[in-house]
Amino acid sequence: MNDLAETVGLTSILGSGENFELAYEQLIRQGCDHEAARVRRAVWDYFVDLELPDDVTVYDQLILSLRAKDLIFTFNWDPFLFDTWARNSCIDGVQLPEIHFLHGNVRVGICKGCCGKWGRVFTVCPECGDRFSELPLLFPESDKNYEGNWYIRSAWEQAKELIANAFTVTVFGYGAPASDRRAVELLKRAWLSQESHVFKQVEVVDIKKEIDCDSLYNSAKACSK
């Protein structure tokens, strides 16, 4: 996210500072609706064109290493997890985990007329024949409308419930930026606030140096009180 404004050609609106989300939030606060809409469009256009290589990727390895009873919750707007799921779902005998997109995703569309129906964006809803509409990409902090979209609301409800009851939570390369308080709260409240962690574990897969997990856990738990 640090160089997203530059990557998608939005520095004239957002500047070239490091925090894309805070710059976008500033736009909203200043009532610059036209510019904010341009930002949302440019971000969607950029991510929707991304494609996986034909080779096996870390996404294929991730999805195929999980089971049907596992779940993936992602904040990513890019289409890589969706496309990986789609291209591996036809393998005989393989049952893939479900994926929930907590901030929306450029490949996911929802039926405006049929609550609960979603699929690849712009394809046809099997229930009513309408095309699946784009899911809004949610920008942390600025968008308070998590509750206003049934798909997003349902994804967050499932995340809260399932993380609270999970035996293992694996965080894959998540930086928890300061601007994304809701995501941090989700992890803290759903998991760290549970009474017993005797048989639970958290794994963090990241390129950073190894950290002192005990002190991280204790400080996170203190924050959640």
Contact residues toward Zn ion (CB under 5 A) are: 111, 113-114, 117, 125, 127-128
Smallest distance, Zn ion to C-beta of residue 116, A: 9
**Closer residue to Zn ion in complex, CB, 111/137:** 111
**Closer residue to Zn ion in complex, CB, 42/111:** 111
Smallest distance, Zn ion to C-beta of residue 124, A: 9
170 forms bridges with which residues in the sheet? 203
Contact 79, 47 (CB under 8 A): yes
Smallest distance, Zn ion to C-beta of residue 123, A: 11
Show the tokens assigned to 38: 């341009």
Smallest distance, Zn ion to C-beta of residue 118, A: 10
Show the tokens assigned to 151: 């798909």
Query: How far is the C-alpha of 15 from the C-alpha of 23, rounded, in Å?
Result: 8
**Closer residue to Zn ion in complex, CB, 150/217:** 150
**Closer residue to Zn ion in complex, CB, 1/114:** 114
Show the tokens assigned to 107: 């490949």
Smallest distance, Zn ion to C-beta of residue 151, A: 13
Smallest distance, Zn ion to C-beta of residue 150, A: 12
**Closer residue to Zn ion in complex, CB, 20/132:** 132
**Closer residue to Zn ion in complex, CB, 150/172:** 150
